[in-house]
Structure 1
Amino acid sequence: MNIANLLIINKSGGLIFTMKNDKSSNQYMIISSSLHTIYAHTQEIKNFQNQYDFEPLIIYAQNHKITFYRTLTGYSFIFISDKDTIIWIKMFEAVYKVFIDYVLKNPFYCDEMPVNNDKFYFNLKNTLDKMK
């Protein structure tokens, strides 16, 4: 299982976390905004009665797969992986649990702000390593 990147996007489409920093922050903000818009348009096309369905949206590219999960709180978790990698709901749930425990429960974290928490990074890496 090879996850190339994990992006976490807030309710308004702003990037609050990226697992890799190989591009500039502006490039990642453009990517996250575009992906947020794509997700919103596909939900309109699919015409869901329940917009917070936990069924992932999966987009296949030539060599990669983009898997979207959107939470009830409005956060989007976007896994960018190899085409053959399967992102199970259990993986999303584990990542979301780490996000809740180390970001949302942090009294110093302001909603909609970028995540800057070493404990979150460490536990996220451990969680993803266990899933391999």
Structure 2
Amino acid sequence: MVIYGVYIVSKSGGLIFNHDHNVPKVDNEKTFGYPLNIKLVYENKKIVVSFGQRDGINVGHILTAVNGNLVIGKELEDGKDVFEMLDDEKNYPINLKFSRSKMTTNEKIFLASMFYPLFAIASQLSPEPRCSGIEILEADTFRLYCYQTLTGVKFMVVAEPTQPGMDILTKRIYELYADFALKNPFYSLEMPIRCELFETNLICLLESVEKSGISSV
């Protein structure tokens, strides 16, 4: 049982807290012949797959090693240019290692701002009156659980689809938020949460839930 992360979004849609709890590392290594049938581009100081995903190597994954040598920017450790190596037929067959890129803070802020209008649209589209919006978003490899408070703050947990008790967990996280963040006289609802006690108790709660499978702790 795995919980991947926790996100808290303010009433106005800003990301005010995030915690990466158990994000799995995805590595794929494969030997390629010439010509290379995956398109790579250099962006944000990384070599990224932009087209031709295959064998678990997906668009957005980053190139981390060539023939066992680490990739730093667009060069290898010995200073060789990666793209020059990939263009030279004499270097084939060549072994390439790819990994899923870790989300940056800016990317997390962008995703939180995207979830905010989706939540509002879902509440409007629902045929049920007084729909509260998205409570569970299900995909093949994860589920996103969302609990919205009366003040409009959203607590989101991303976990394995089989992880039980997540609806209870989101409410327990809200209780921790109320106990340790809201009781701080210097904190306001739109401010980022920077509270060591809140984060420490949150981590303990998540670890307990993963071990027991329930969140009644």
Counterpart mapping for 1:1-132 below 5 A: 1-20=1-20, 22-52=102-132, 57-132=135-210
**TM superposition score normalised by structure 1:** 0.87
**Is the CA contact (8 Å cut-off) linking 2:147 and 2:171 kept in structure 1?**
no
The answer for unaligned runs of 5 or more in structure 2 is 22-101, 211-217
Alpha-carbon RMSD across the aligned residues, in angstroms, is: 2.0
Code of the aligned partner of 2:139 = A
The answer for unaligned runs of 5 or more in structure 1 is none
**Is the CA contact (8 Å cut-off) linking 1:52 and 1:71 kept in structure 2?**
no
Code of the aligned partner of 1:28 = K
**Is the CA contact (8 Å cut-off) linking 1:68 and 1:79 kept in structure 2?**
yes
Code of the aligned partner of 2:197 = K
**TM superposition score normalised by structure 2:** 0.55
Task: Figure out how many residues of one structure are paired with residues of the other and give that number.
Answer: 130
Deviation at 1:20, TM superposition (A): 1.9
Q: Deviations over 1:72-105 (max 9, x none)?
A: 1111011111122234332122111100011111
**Is the CA contact (8 Å cut-off) linking 1:67 and 1:87 kept in structure 2?**
no
Q: 1:67 to 1:89 in 2, by over 3 A?
A: closer
Code of the aligned partner of 1:89 = D
Code of the aligned partner of 2:112 = S
Helix, strand or coil at the partner of 1:104: coil
Deviation at 1:47, TM superposition (A): 5.0
State the alpha-carbon separation in 1 of the partners of residues 136 and 189 from structure 2: 27
Q: Deviations over 1:3-61 (max 9, x none)?
A: 111100000000000012942221011111111221111111115543558xx621111
Task: Determine what percentage of the aligned residue pairs are the same residue.
Answer: 28
State the alpha-carbon separation in 1 of the partners of residues 160 and 144 from structure 2: 9
State the alpha-carbon separation in 1 of the partners of residues 150 and 131 from structure 2: 9
